[in-house]
Amino acid sequence: MKKEKKLYEGKAKIIYATNDKNLVIQYFKDDATAFNNQKKSIIEGKGVLNNRISEHILSNLSQIGIKNHLVKRLNMREQIIKLVEIIPIEFIIRNVATGSITKRLGIEDGTVLKEPLIEYCLKDDKLGDPLISEEHILAFDWASKTEIDNVKKMILRINDFMIGMFRGVGIKLIDFKLEFGRIKIDGKNEVILADEISPDTCRLWDSITEKKLDKDRFRKDLGDLIPAYTEVAKRLGILHEQSNITAVNVTNLSSVKRKKK
């Protein structure tokens, strides 16, 4: 596999073409952004952790039949993924109300929802990813009814699986964001899960202390983002318990592991 020219650079990732037209390389950057790019920082080691955590979650989802774009992790910062046509919608799934919904609807922070809530936002940074309804998606033809129905089914299975996976390691899955993309598989058009799933895209609270183990540490200036992401990786069994991780250690540990293979 040969890495070719840069196709796209986003806030947290870069996509490179390869010599296979169906595959691209996804590079995880250390950049952290929030509030529609108004707050920016570089947090050394974040990309390495997100690469590993996302690989773990997407591989597990494959095993329960959720088709997704991950082919394999290449190294500490890169994955080979299938090239998809991204549906221009951010799918937000909430189990507990926090973040934007509490402000928008005046709901008390931490309210447990009676059932998972799916919200749709148009993927458009210039407009600040506005909340839209399913009717908007159909009216503007951003996705078809069949696509939306399939995505909703996948979302509920992904949510069930991830709630269980995190509960098993003492973490509450509060909410998260998913993206999906179109692809032709064996001549058939399909919609598969794309993008990353990591503490950048999920809210994860310790089950007992409710300590935030996700990007809210950056958004709310809580500090210690790398120790929190490392804690998530350790609990999921991706990093060894004894590893005393700092940003620099994460980098070292991953390169040591790679050399051993």
In the complex, the residues that contact ligand 5GP under the rule CB under 6 A are 90, 92, 99-101, 129, 175-177, 200-203, 215
**CA dist., res. 75 & res. 104, Å (int):** 41
For ligand 5GP, the closer CB: 18 or 26 = 26
- How far apart are CB 4 and ligand 5GP at their closest, in Å? 27
For ligand 5GP, the closer CB: 3 or 11 = 11
- How far apart are CB 100 and ligand 5GP at their closest, in Å? 3
- How far apart are CB 112 and ligand 5GP at their closest, in Å? 15
For ligand 5GP, the closer CB: 18 or 217 = 217
In eight-state DSSP terms, residue 11 is S
Cα dihedral sign, 47-53-57-58: positive
- How far apart are CB 215 and ligand 5GP at their closest, in Å? 6
Q: Which amino acid is at 259?
A: K
228 token code pair: 């929190």
The CA-atom distances, in angstroms, between 207 and each of 50, 99, 171 are: 21, 18, 5
For ligand 5GP, the closer CB: 83 or 202 = 202
**CA dist., res. 225 & res. 214, Å (int):** 7
- How far apart are CB 174 and ligand 5GP at their closest, in Å? 7
**CA dist., res. 53 & res. 70, Å (int):** 12
Which of 89, 79, 93 is CA-nearest to residue 122? 89
For ligand 5GP, the closer CB: 147 or 200 = 200
**CA dist., res. 31 & res. 125, Å (int):** 16
